[in-house]
Amino acid sequence: MSDYQKFQAEILDVKLTVEAANTFTADFINCNAADFAIEKVGDTIKLIQKKRVQINRNWHTWIIEGMCEVKITLPASLEFCRIAAASGIVIVQGLQLKQLEVEVSDGTATAKDVQADEVRLFCEDGIANGKNIIVRKLCKISTDNGVSKLSGKLNFPYELSVVCENGLMDSEEEEQRELYAADNLPDAAAIGGTAASPAQYLVYCENGIATYNLI
């Protein structure tokens, strides 16, 4: 399954977890696999949710069984991963790839322990959260209404911008840089970057909170 270098997903209302492993696997928890389609074309794997599943579950089922969840494992080294979700929770962790894109209309978009050229996390209404994101070029975490958060280790050297149009903003950048630069960080050369072109990190929120915690 290592021949597959690209993963795409279209999710309607479930929790989707994507983790690094040796092979591709798909586990369906509290939901029916028949409500999803898995397509394998060339070097691309596609996961498509065919219909909403949470709408048919009552509160008692939610409490006893929990949320409908799909767990995907992929080879750790990929070229591209793109996930689009109408609502729900998306978590991507442990991948090494060129480009990661996660877009959630209503819910949570999270990336943890990811190394990439570019990482883009967007949530229209909800939370966009990046932790230990090592990029060679760009990491953009943004929300229209909600919380945009960056935490953990970054690539060094880096340039960090924190912007909130309407709401709260934590942007003590120089203080954070001085404290964090003293740590033993992976440098640009170690993952294919250059000191002459520092990684760009942007945390943006139109309405809500834009914050980071690098300690």
Nearest-angstrom CA–CA distance, 29 and 1: 22
Nearest-angstrom CA–CA distance, 145 and 140: 16
Q: What per-residue confidence (pLDDT) applies to 76?
A: 72
Backbone phi, psi, residue 140, to 5°: -120, 125
Task: Give me the domain span that covers residue 156.
Answer: 6-213
The number of distinct structural domains making up the chain is 1
pLDDT at 197 over 70: yes
Name the most confidently modeled range: 44-58, 116-130, 175-189.
116-130
CB atoms within 10 A of CB 112: 17
Flag whether 152 is in a domain.
Answer: yes
For residue 43, what is the domain's CATH number?
2.160.20
CA 9 from chain centre, in angstroms, equals 13
Flag whether 38 is in a domain.
Answer: yes
**pLDDT tens digits along 149-192:** 999 999 888 999 999 999 998 755 444 443 334 343 444 444 44
Q: Rounded mean pLDDT of 1-9?
A: 79
Q: Rounded mean pLDDT of 79-89?
A: 96
The answer to which of 15-29, 39-53, 168-182 has the lowest mean pLDDT is: 168-182
pLDDT at 58 over 70: no
Flag whether 1 is in a domain.
Answer: no
Q: Mean pLDDT of all residues in the chain?
A: 85
Flag whether 83 is in a domain.
Answer: yes
